[in-house]
Structure 1
Amino acid sequence: MTNIPFTQRPWLDRFFGLTEQGTTVQRELRAGLTTFLTMSYILFVNPQILSAAIDVPNAFVQLLMVTALSAAFGSAVMGLVARYPFAQAPGMGLNAFFTYTVVLGMGLPWQTALGAVFISGVLFVLLSMMGARQAIVQAIPLSLKLAITGGIGAFLAFIGLKNAGIVVANDATLVGLGHLTAAPVWLALFGLVISGALMARRVTAAVLWGILATTILAIVTGAQVYAGGADGALQSFPGFTGSVAGIFGAPVWPSDLVGQLDIAGALSLGALSVIFTFFFVDFFDATGTLTGLAQRAGYMREDQDMPRARRLFASDGLAAMFGAFMGTSTTTAFVESASGIEEGGRTGLTAVTVAVLFLLATFLWPLAAAIPGAATAPALILVGAMMLEGLKHIDWEDITEALPAFLTLLFMPLTFSIANGVSFGVISYCGLKLLSGRGREVSPILYFIAALLAVRYVYLGE
């Protein structure tokens, strides 16, 4: 198709630039399905967390609908406006901060907390359109960009190991090895071996086939890997329990959540610190995620800039605003988008596919529930391993490059925060360069950001 004149190509090819990115419609659709499967857990986890703070009738189902609609909107904007293969959804970590720190801890009404999320989204859009976020990304050196990508990979792998029960909490050592005979563990290990072997044989859609094979094995063996058992215990596949034809669930319009945000209350003096925290954490979390994903997808140019960067970062802010209006905590770019990138997703068609699948999930959410966490965990581990490839290009013999890269890589999984990894990497990079007499190698913008980050940690804490 590369020899076909641009005006004669199919409209999907022309709009998304499929030929220029060396991809096809089929590959993009497959990549979108893979991304959706690896992040579909958010449909059930986000309502579970937010329902502890948001007290409305039928809260879980309404929040599930809000989660799906926010993810659909955010992914569609990313695909149609920025035309990147990155999916968006209500972010983990930020939803816990919203619930347990802001609403339950500080006693702020959930409507006011939603107002704070909305305002932080407005700030994202303004800074993005002014080029501020783009300037920060350009100021970050290549070694840190590669470390951010690798750190996200390590973070993904850690999430996968945790979800599978391979890595568990340990009072004596913080983390330890889980029970290898437990159903989630052996299923995840099965999926990891199958997916890895298929990838080694260069089988198309290796990650997706691994997810489906593990899901089928979980169902036919009756493995207890599904949530919803008595006292929170895992159970075997409960079957399709939707209200129509088994796999369908009637959508519910979240009337008790839509438009309930309190912007005026969020602008009061007592809530300004909440706005700043939402803004700060998501700014560096999303900026790190988008930078790492763009690096992995091959969008980072030699001048360390990205095409359509302002639209890319503004899409993140628009998603946060829409999510807050609908009734959920911050909607942001999902690191699980890396799974679709590994499947060949390179354009906005991947993200649009994810958006369509989230819309379908408002009708087919019982079917989405058939994919257990043990089936998607291997995909996260495998994709995480692939994202470490760029670390070989870091100059490990130069301590001013190696140590910040190492801290960036280490802090993401160990603090369970992309923002912390980026922050400590930037601060240490600027400090080492300055104290070693090589301060001129650092952009003034990066020094300013490092100073803000240091002040934030010293005076505002977590």
Structure 2
Amino acid sequence: MTHPQPSTPPGPGPAGALDRFFGLSAARSSVPQELRAGLTTFLTMSYILFVNPQVLGAAIDVPNAFVQLLMTTAIAAAFGSLAMGLIARYPFAQAPGMGLNAFFAFTVVQGMGVPWQTALGAVFISGALFVILSAVGARQAIVQAIPLSLKFAITAGIGAFLAFLGLRSAGVVVSNPATLLSLGEVTAPGAWLAALGLIVTAALTVRRVTGAILYGILITTFAAIALRLPVYPGGPDGAMQAFGGFTGRLGILDAPVWPSALVGQLDIAGAFGLGLLSVVFTFFFVDFFDATGTLTGLAQKAGVLDARGDMPRARRTFAMDGLAAMFGAFMGTSTTTAYVESASGIGAGGRTGLSAVTVGVLFLLSMFLWPLAAAIPGAATAPALILVGALMMEGVKFVDWDDLSESLPAFLTIIAMPLTFSIANGVSFGVLSYCALKLLTGRARSVSPILYGVAALLLARYLFLSGG
């Protein structure tokens, strides 16, 4: 959906310059609104500062590994978000992706015995492929070939995935060896805190309070600290504990550390070895469809798709995704990609690249203020993810549920994302089933030849690279 141009030109001064550069008036936004949205996105994804070093630390053995990996995570996230905000000018934040970091650490490095430097080279090559395909318009062509019903389903599926992440973070949904998933301990402080935060945030949203999602996160965090609730990790034997105070040498401040043992250590030549081609293409395939699905869903949520369902500046946007992956590999981290948590900032009003720039600046500040981020428990960001997930389900009403060849692929897209814990799998299941049903019901010509080609590649990926 396009937005009308503002009736009055932006005024002089810094605010006017930001308006002209980011198109704030055209997007019916403002500087305060974008700053709030950026802060909201940062709070919902700041966990990556602590989780990514834990995951990659199992594979990367360097001196002071946790701090160095935290710093390189912050730098990669800052670069990716700034590039997306300043060049693509969309409110899509980027950071090292969950899932691919686990594949990097446990499957490639530990499982296959590949040196972590060579694995970083594989990430770099996959990012270069992203940039090349984006520059020639291949990624844009693929997105344009995806039918509207699947685009709406991708948005709804991301919503379901976000809600699942929120419920898991709150401890409401837990793993179960017998049933895979089950209800957690709903009387636990984290579950009650998340429920309180969800009700407060939803009430503020219904009352149209500007910045409702951000206020919900801050109110819930304050309640957790003030009531001394055990909702923070780090207790004995993995138990949750109350907030123990800031651990920085100056309270909420601590000096950053340059990740010298990680920067520039990637081995690109080694990654070109024949035995690692499957690793390169697994990184490529998974992140290609994960990022493509994420960006398409976020664009639909932000209302920036045009009348044909296409994203303006798509080549530039997709290229920034690939460039972030290349830069992240150079800095010493696994694939950097668009973050689905950006939907929380979009839900808080983010519509332009100023939101992503805000996220990037906050990640740079986190190199000094990272003890402050530790004060935000998962139970405080869970309500934002659940609420935004609910809002993203709106698109399902545009799916033709009376036509099974449209509704079944849409349903598979939606349900596969949370159940397989992968946006890429959801997009893949939708594309494969859509092409198969149209082909077998005599409506093959209604599908773009490009989409058939994508389906063939996806099928080959599942048949020959299923281990990834």
Return the TM-score normalized by structure 2.
Answer: 0.97
Q: Shift of the alpha carbon at 1:272?
A: 1.1
Alignment partner, residue 299 of structure 2: 294
Q: Distance in 1 between matches of 2:284 and 2:9?
A: 45
Q: Distance in 2 between matches of 1:129 and 1:282?
A: 17
Tell me what 1:318 maps to: 323
Distance 1:122 1:448 in 2: 21
Correspondence for 1:248: 253
Alignment size in residue pairs:
461
2:130 and 2:278 map into 1 onto residues whose CA distance is 16
**Local SS of the residue matching 1:169:** strand
Q: Which runs of 5+ in 1 are unaligned?
A: none
Task: Give 2:297's aligned amino acid.
Answer: G
Alpha carbons 2:282, 2:465 under 8 Å: kept:
no
Query: Please, what is the CA RMSD of the aligned residues?
Result: 1.1
Whether 2:162 is the aligned partner of 1:161: answer no
Q: Distance in 1 between the 2:382 and 2:461 partners?
A: 34
Distance 1:43 1:274 in 2: 25
Moved more, 191-200 or 86-95: 191-200
Partner of 1:76: 82
Q: Write out aligned runs for 1:130-149 (5 A).
A: 130-149=136-155
Indicate the residue corresponding to 1:60 in structure 2: 66
What's the CA shift string for 1:101-125, capped at 9, x where partnerless? Answer: 0000000000000000001000000
Stretches of structure 2 that go unaligned for 5 or more consecutive residues are none
**Matches of 1:447 and 1:8, distance apart in 2:** 51
Task: Give the whole-Å Cα distance in 1 for the aligned partners of 2:42 and 2:9.
Answer: 33
**Aligned residues of 1:137 and 1:304 also touching (Cα < 8 A):** no
What CA distance in whole angstroms lies between the structure 2 residues aligned with 1:65 and 1:75? 15
Equivalent-residue separation in structure 2 for 1:125 and 1:306 (angstroms): 17
Equivalences for residues 75-114 of structure 1 within 5 A:
75-114=81-120
Aligned counterpart, 1:415: 420
Deviations 1:377-436 (A, max 9, x none): 110000000000011011000000000000000000000000000001000000000100
**AA matched with 2:149:** S
What letter corresponds to residue 36 of structure 1 in structure 2? Answer: F
Distance in 2 separating the partners of 1:2 and 1:143: 31
Partner Cα separation in structure 1 for residue 420 and residue 404 of structure 2: 23
8 Å CA contact 2:10–2:25 kept in 1: the answer is no
Partner of 1:369: 374
Inter-partner Cα distance in structure 2 for 1:95 and 1:457: 20
> For the residues of structure 1 that align with 2:309 and 2:172, how far apart are their CA atoms?
37
Distance 1:268 1:231 in 2: 42
Residues 111-140 of structure 1, C-alpha deviation per residue, up to 9 Å, x if partnerless?
000000001000000000000000000000
Please say if residues 31 and 344 of structure 1, whose CA atoms lie closer than 8 Å, have aligned partners that are also in contact.
Answer: yes
Aligned with 1:456 (options 431, 456, 461): 461
Q: Is residue 86–residue 334 contact of structure 1 (8 Å, CA) maintained in 2?
A: yes
The answer as to whether partners of 2:153 and 2:411 remain within 8 angstroms in 1 is: yes
> Distance between the aligned counterparts of 1:193 and 1:5, measured in 2?
39
Partner residue of 2:47 out of 41, 52, 57: 41
Alpha-carbon offset, residue 271 of structure 1: 1.1
Amino acid at match of 1:308: R
CA deviation profile, 1:27-86 (whole Å, cap 9, x unmatched): 000000000000000000000100000000110000000000000000000000000000
Among 276, 280, 284, the alignment partner of 2:285 is 280
The aligned residue for residue 50 of structure 1 is 56
Residue number in structure 2 paired with 1:4? 8
TM-score by length of 1: 0.98
Instruction: Please give the secondary structure, in 2, of the residue aligned with 1:55.
Output: coil
User: For residues 389 and 175 of structure 1, what CA distance do their matches in structure 2 show?
Assistant: 26
2-structure distance, mates of 1:5, 1:394: 39
**1:63, 1:460 → 2: CA distance?**
29
TM-aligned CA deviation for residue 3 of structure 1: 3.5
Amino acid at match of 2:147: P
Match of 1:435 in 2: 440
Moved over 6 A (4+): none
Query: Quick check: 1:360 aligned with 2:362?
Result: no
Q: Which position in structure 2 is the counterpart of 1:128?
A: 134
2 CA distance for matches of 1:202 and 1:3?
Answer: 24
Matched, 1:14 2:14: no
- 2 CA distance for matches of 1:69 and 1:24? 27
Give how far 1:4 is off.
2.9
Q: Distance in 1 between matches of 2:176 and 2:71?
A: 35
1:104 partner SS:
helix
Q: Which amino acid aligns with 2:74?
A: A
The alpha carbon displacement at 1:2 in A equals: 3.2
**In structure 2, how many angstroms separate the alpha carbons of the residues matched to 1:258 and 1:183?**
41
Q: Counterparts in 2 of 1:322-333, with a 5 A limit?
A: 322-333=327-338
Q: SS in structure 1 opposite 2:35?
A: helix
The 8 Å contact of residues 435 and 452 in structure 2, kept in 1 or not, is answered as: yes
2:264 and 2:330 in contact (8 A); partners too: yes
- Choose from 266, 272, 283 the match for 1:267: 272
- 1:172, distance to aligned residue in structure 2 (A): 2.0
One-letter code of the match for 2:381? T
* Structure 2 partner of 1:309: 314
Q: Is contact 1:30–1:205 with CA below 8 Å preserved after alignment?
A: yes
C-alpha separation in 2, matches of 1:112 and 1:171? 35
